[in-house]
């Protein structure tokens, strides 16, 4: 299983945090609940707060929600949310993302063939 890491800028310094190698079933269940209950692809501000709190929990509270919000690159937030939700379930987001991209490309190619 891939180790999850995240980089935050705290007090002007880049720090790297590693999620614990053990993630209990409770966190797995919470990830499933969040994926079912929230619009994780386009979350509201309140949903983002919930998802950020989950990230903090998965990383063993090595940093606070505020430190995450202030120190994480917002352009990478959607991938970090997905990586954490899938990672808590024992899945590798990078591999899932590659599979989605491959399917999208294949579907686009099929659409082109049908039009011709």
Say how far apart CA 80 and CA 74 lie, in whole Å.
Answer: 10
The predicted-structure confidence for 67-102, as pLDDT tens digits, reads as follows 999 999 999 999 999 999 999 999 988 888 888 888
Which residues, including other chains, have CB under 8 Å from residue 3's CB and lie 6 or more apart? 18, 19, 21
Mean pLDDT across the stretch 38-66? 96
CB 1 within 8 A of CB 92: yes
Dihedral, CA atoms, 54, 58, 60, 63, nearest 10 degrees?
A: -50
Whole-model pTM: value is 0.85
Structure tokens at 70: 């202030």
The predicted-structure confidence for 8-46, as pLDDT tens digits, reads as follows 999 999 999 999 999 999 999 999 999 999 999 899 999
């Amino acid at each position: 299983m891939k180790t999850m890491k995240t980089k935050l800028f705290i007090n002007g310094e880049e720090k790297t945090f590693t999620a614990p190698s053990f993630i209990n079933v409770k966190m797995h269940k919470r990830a499933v609940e969040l994926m079912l209950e929230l619009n994780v692809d386009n979350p509201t501000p309140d949903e983002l707060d919930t998802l950020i709190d989950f990230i903090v929990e998965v990383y063993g509270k090595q940093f606070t929600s505020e430190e995450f919000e202030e120190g994480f690159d917002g352009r990478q937030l959607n991938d970090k949310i997905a990586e954490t939700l899938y990672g808590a379930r024992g899945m590798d987001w990078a591999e899932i993302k590659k599979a989605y991209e491959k399917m999208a490309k294949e579907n686009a190619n099929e659409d082109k063939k049908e039009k011709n």
